[in-house]
Structure 1
């Protein structure tokens, strides 16, 4: 009888745990890969200490992002209830109370800051800057055209910079520019897809109404050009080095192919979920794998 009486409590705890996991958006945790970008580009990611420190930073930034997702869902709950898919989010559906979500945000943000503190003041400072920027985004910047795109892209740049400071590798200007323009390219494509997908996104994300398709296409073009030029200038500095290093120069071709292919997909209405397109489109997947292989050989066998 006692076990039967405990069953509802167990079910409730399981349901709450599932709701907290959904609220934390594990499908977005892959963004922490940006913390590995700088040490990978510097050719030190194969060193145990660098890999460990980058992983600690990735865990910390993931915890901070979870806090932002929770606060964002509390803030957007009224709008989410009018969206065909977002209405199923834990806060909007009533599966989780706003108070529980805010408490979860406080716990995960505090945990993230404690973890990142182990990596020194520079990395901690970037983590705080990331947290502040994303809080400003949730509570106002997301509704300001142009500024919202910059704020999202800045989140990726801060992750990339934190990966560098965490592992003690120098950050080149080209690396930061590739991170910035690359992030802008993805965000522009996402906004373009959201704007053309349905009227539901326009109702629940009012800033979309401020964007014209022509301006988003212009932003995509500018970001594409900036990403290509920045990466090209970084890669071609190795022209004339040993045979393996020159593969970094060759890597520009699949890199350019991947960007152009993704831009093409965006023009056809796709791109709302960039990470899904990578595995759905064969050309994009082959170009991405080729680029990664050339980069790996050029950096780690030279």
Structure 2
């Protein structure tokens, strides 16, 4: 039984937090990739800088969600799920949400500038790119998935800037390819669910087909595994990182299994938390990287 609109009004402070969509924050965990590979998380001060960088990305991405909800509030009120969002449900005044978003964005960019001016500039680019995506670019075929992937690359670069750690080209290529893999899988899942009414969901879906996305996925999957394998040998760290390649292969193959055999993949962050195989693989991969860099380098 669906919840009533009254239940969607938990109070303004809670509603303002819900505007930022905390459930989406797992996407920003890529900020920790550079600190993990550099072992900077072992240094207390750099650990906190990485944490701050993570939350700054969460807040800036939340500002994009606020802007989206503000402009889509009328359409969201007629949507079976989106009508419970804080602005659409009336839990937060649209203009109060807009002011809150502006203040949060300004504070986040200022805080980032204090740590690293380049990081502040990167956050601004990330914000503007996502606004452009929401307003226009998400309707352009192929460009939509590439913008999503580039957003993850900016997160990875941001993690390096926050702790002043240089990133290798192969690391950025791996990030881009893996993000493309997830974005393409997400589009395929959407078409799979809505084959008979693609134009009723995302306009760009009518320009895709499952066959096209499968071709794109094949290319990106192969490139991802090859790029990561090369990264382990050319990262400037120990070649013993090659022992983590099986985790990457299994994780990619498991995700393909979920997409093609179980019809999942629409929400990568949800898959990560709900599929035990992928969750265990990610945990083991992270532990392996840390142990190899600590004891085999």
Q: Work out whether the TM-score is over 0.5.
A: yes
Task: Report the counterpart of residue 272 of structure 2 in structure 1.
Answer: 278
Matched, 1:28 2:40: no
Contact 2:69 2:87 in 1 (8 A): yes
1:28 Cα deviation from its structure 2 partner: 0.9
**Aligned-residue CA RMSD (Å):** 2.4
Q: What secondary structure is seen at the aligned counterpart in 1 of 2:127?
A: helix
Cα distance per residue 1:47-94 (max 9 Å; x no partner): 122212212211211111110011112233344344332232222333
Q: Name structure 2 gaps, 5 residues minimum.
A: 1-8
1:95 Cα deviation from its structure 2 partner: 2.9
CA–CA separation in structure 1 for the residues paired with 2:25 and 2:281: 23
Matched, 1:117 2:110: no
Task: Report the counterpart of residue 281 of structure 2 in structure 1.
Answer: 287
Task: Report the counterpart of residue 209 of structure 2 in structure 1.
Answer: 212
Cα distance per residue 1:229-256 (max 9 Å; x no partner): 11100113489x9xxx454111101111
Task: Report the counterpart of residue 259 of structure 1 in structure 2.
Answer: 252
1:298 to 271, 281, 292: 292
CA–CA separation in structure 1 for the residues paired with 2:253 and 2:24: 24
Assess, with a 3 A threshold, how the Cα gap between structure 1 residues 36 and 90 changes in structure 2: closer, same or farther.
same
Number of residue pairs the alignment of both structures matches:
288
Assess, with a 3 A threshold, how the Cα gap between structure 1 residues 210 and 75 changes in structure 2: closer, same or farther.
farther
1:114 Cα deviation from its structure 2 partner: 1.2
Larger radius of gyration: 1
- Report runs of 4+ in structure 1 exceeding 4 Å deviation: 199-202
Contact 2:188 2:210 in 1 (8 A): yes
> Given the two structures, how large is their TM-score scaled by the length of structure 1?
0.87
> Given the two structures, how large is their TM-score scaled by the length of structure 2?
0.88
Contact 1:38 1:163 in 2 (8 A): yes
Task: Report the counterpart of residue 143 of structure 1 in structure 2.
Answer: 139
